[in-house]
Structure 1
Amino acid sequence: MANAASGMAVHDDCKLRFLELKAKRTYRFIVYKIEEKQKQVIVEKVGEPNQGYEDFTSCLPADECRYAVYDFDFMTKENVQKSRIFFIAWSPDTSRVRSKMIYASSKDRFKRELDGIQVELQATDPTEMGLDVIRSRAS
């Protein structure tokens, strides 16, 4: 089903991989890309459960927009192991204006397809989604 605002469909694989991350913790992260010619959001890359945050951020292109989901594990002040699923809308300043517009107009519709997101971040440069930012938003 295409999004009326941007005309972007969401490939079934996007939802299936997200459910695997959420329910089975099969992946640490998923990077999604909009294929403009196909007018749909697809899975570009998945991260193994043992991969860290640096592995994830290195998958995001410096000059292209992406959506991403990251499963962040952390310890609370009470020493309890917890996890938060982050949705990150990566839209670097150096990306094309058209691309930024397409990603911005498709974001809410795409996010609704991924049931279980706990925290949302919008980032235009790496400092806006640094590990310190993730930690502060997780607790």
Structure 2
Amino acid sequence: MANARSGMGVEEGCKSTFLELQRKKAHRYIVFKIEENKKVVLVEKVGKVDESYDDFCASLPDADCRYAVYDFDFVTEDNCQKSKIFFIAWSPDIARIRTKFLYATSKDKFRRELDGVHYEMQATDPTEIGIEALKERAN
């Protein structure tokens, strides 16, 4: 399962944890990390269902890249309860260039492994993934 361009594989736990979030609503979010030495994407952190969006944002490192999915619950203008799953490619400006390149070249293949994501966002600083940005995309 290695990506031809980056040589990156995907640990099986990534898909099973994502399915728990998607189908069972067992988690609020998942943060994924590339383990460069092993050339594999793995689960770094799983957020409990009752964790907030602020907890999710705090789990993203200030100076390193990550992939993440967030299960966003919201109420529409018609007063309907909805849930949408966001895939976020987190690549802060101050991250190492090599790391940014590694995450960028592995993103598409990894993203395809997570079937059922509704929206995808790229972010280089926290303002780009503020709660308002999610609300705007979801509505």
1:21 aligns with 2:5: no
Aligned to 1:64: 64
* SS state at 1:32 partner: strand
Q: 1:51-106 CA distances to partner (integer Å, 9 max, x unpaired)?
A: 01000000000000000000000000000000000000000000000000000000
Aligned to 2:86: 86
CA distance in 2, matches of 1:7, 1:135: 35
Aligned to 1:50: 50
Runs of 4+, deviation exceeding 2 Å: none
Percent of pairs with identical residues = 60
The one-letter code of the counterpart of 1:102 is L
* SS state at 1:14 partner: helix
Aligned to 2:120: 120
* SS state at 1:64 partner: coil
The one-letter code of the counterpart of 2:61 is P
TM value normalised by structure 1: 0.99
CA distance in 1, matches of 2:96, 2:119: 26
In the TM superposition, residue 44 of structure 1 has moved relative to its aligned partner by 0.1
In the TM superposition, residue 14 of structure 1 has moved relative to its aligned partner by 0.2
* SS state at 1:88 partner: strand
In the TM superposition, residue 16 of structure 1 has moved relative to its aligned partner by 0.2
CA distance in 2, matches of 1:132, 1:80: 18
Cα-Cα RMSD: 0.3
CA distance in 2, matches of 1:111, 1:103: 11
Unpaired segments ≥5 residues, structure 1 = none
In the TM superposition, residue 115 of structure 1 has moved relative to its aligned partner by 0.3
CA distance in 2, matches of 1:49, 1:77: 24
Q: How many positions carry a matched residue from both structures?
A: 139
Unpaired segments ≥5 residues, structure 2 = none
Aligned to 1:41: 41
The one-letter code of the counterpart of 1:89 is A
